[in-house]
Amino acid sequence: MTWLIQSAVLLTTPPFFLGVIAKTKASFAGRKGPPLLQNYYDLIKLFRKGTVHSPASSFVLRLAPAVIVSTLLTAGLFFPLLGRAPIFFEGDVILFAYLLALGRFAMILAALDVGSGFQGMGASREAAFGAFSELAFFLGLVVLVVISGSASLTGIFQWKWIHPAWRPVFLLLFAAFFFILLAENSRMPVDDPSTHLELTMIHEGMILDYGGIDLGLILYGSAIKLFLLMAFAISLLWPQPLAWHWHSAALLGLKWTGMAVAIGAVESVTARLRLIKVPQLLIANFVVTLFALLVALFGRRV
């Protein structure tokens, strides 16, 4: 039962939250904005089209979209979205992190495969910033494992018994994961998702050569990635109940929408950082996570 519902939620809802973000940004700017379901229309449109591949490219380019979507969907099955995750075992945190990393790897390879300058630049930036944000991500996972004593996502997010002395740690981690989310999904202070100036983009730069179904898959993949990282961040503050109920689906919709609005708000009020400042933000993030780890290790009242 949970199995089915979680798969359905994972497959269908992610583009909706992208729509929420776009709507929030539009309303901050005083515009009406695209309809909430615009991303679905875009995806449908793209899936109807055919695909053209550059003759200079190899199978990597063709394989990448499938790898990205499948790794992300698999990762999603480990996450306790509505009650217990469909699949869970000790150590699935690490698998989760590596599945995300594999998706990124495929993306970078595909961008390099085309051999175009802009893609290469985007790939290099993605790799550089990814290195910083993954550092913080892994460290954050370590903190969670230390606190909860469990190496499974399902175990981590049932933290009702956790000592109140550790509450500040969760706030710190939430802040850290929020920035990781922004960085990983090419959101505002790090990358501008709406820009089309090749020199300044990161994520958009890498997918310039895609079209049709492949582009659709990549857009779909990035929506899932956003969805999963939002799940991670919001569950730190307010975890989903572990037993399945119909109202936990409503709760999920509520929390994720709130998170999407928050992202939209942050994106609206910040300017994109100069590229040179991005590593600084990510390093700061890493330091905050490090601090969280130390607080977790030492903060326990003796």
Partner 1 sequence: MDWLLVGVVLTAFVILGSSRLDSCIRMVALQGVLLSILPPMVRGSLLDWHGLFLAAASLAIKTVAIPVLLARSLKQAKIKREVEPTVSLHYSLLAGGAIVVIAFSGFKLLPVPTGPFPTLLIPAALTVVFIGFFLLISRFKAITQVIGFLVLENGVFLFGMTLIRDFPLTVEMGVLLDLWVGVFVMGIMIHHIHRTFDHIDTKAMASLKDAE
Kindly tell me which residue out of 144, 172, 173, 224 binds partner 1, with binding defined by CB under 8 A: 172
Cβ-based nearer residue to partner 1, 150 or 289 = 289
**Does 163 help bind partner 1 (rule: CB under 8 A)?**
no
**Chosen residue from 12, 194, 270, 280 binding partner 1 by CB under 8 A:** 280
Judged by beta carbon, residue 36 or residue 135, the one nearer partner 1 is 135
Q: Is 137 in contact with 118 (CB distance < 8 Å)?
A: no
Q: Is residue 171 at the binding interface for partner 1, with CB under 8 A as the rule?
A: yes
Question: Token pair for residue 101?
Answer: 């990393």
Out of 33, 34, 239, 299, name the contact with partner 1 by CB under 8 A: 299
Half-sphere exposure of residue 177: CA atoms within 13 angstroms, side-chain side: 25
Q: Is 31 in the site for partner 1 (CB under 8 A)?
A: no
Q: Minimum Å distance from CB 73 to partner 1?
A: 35
Cα separation, 70 vs 232, in Å, equals 19
212-237 helix and 167-184 helix, angle to the nearest 10 degrees: 170
Whichever of 162 and 290 has its CB closer to partner 1, that residue is 290
Decide whether 226 or 282 has the Cβ nearer to partner 1: 282
Tell me if 29 contacts partner 1 by CB under 8 A: no
| Amino acid identity at 35 | P
119 phi/psi in degrees, rounded to 5: -60, -45
Q: Which region among 23-31, 147-155, 165-173, 238-246 touches partner 1 (by CB under 8 A)?
A: 165-173
Residue 175 C-beta: closest distance to partner 1, Å:
9
Specify whether the CB–CB gap between 57 and 206 falls below 8 A: no
The pattern of x and - marking residues 218 through 257 that bind partner 1 according to CB under 8 A reads ----------------------------------------
> CA-CA distance, 68 to 76, in Å (whole number)?
12
Return all residues near 149 (Cβ < 8 A) that are at least 6 apart: 155
Neighbours of 11 (CB within 10 A): 12
165 lies in the binding site for partner 1 (CB under 8 A): yes
User: Shortest gap between Cβ of 277 and partner 1 (angstroms)?
Assistant: 8
- Tell me if 288 sits within 8 A of 176, measured CB to CB: yes
Read off the tokens for 282. 């990510």
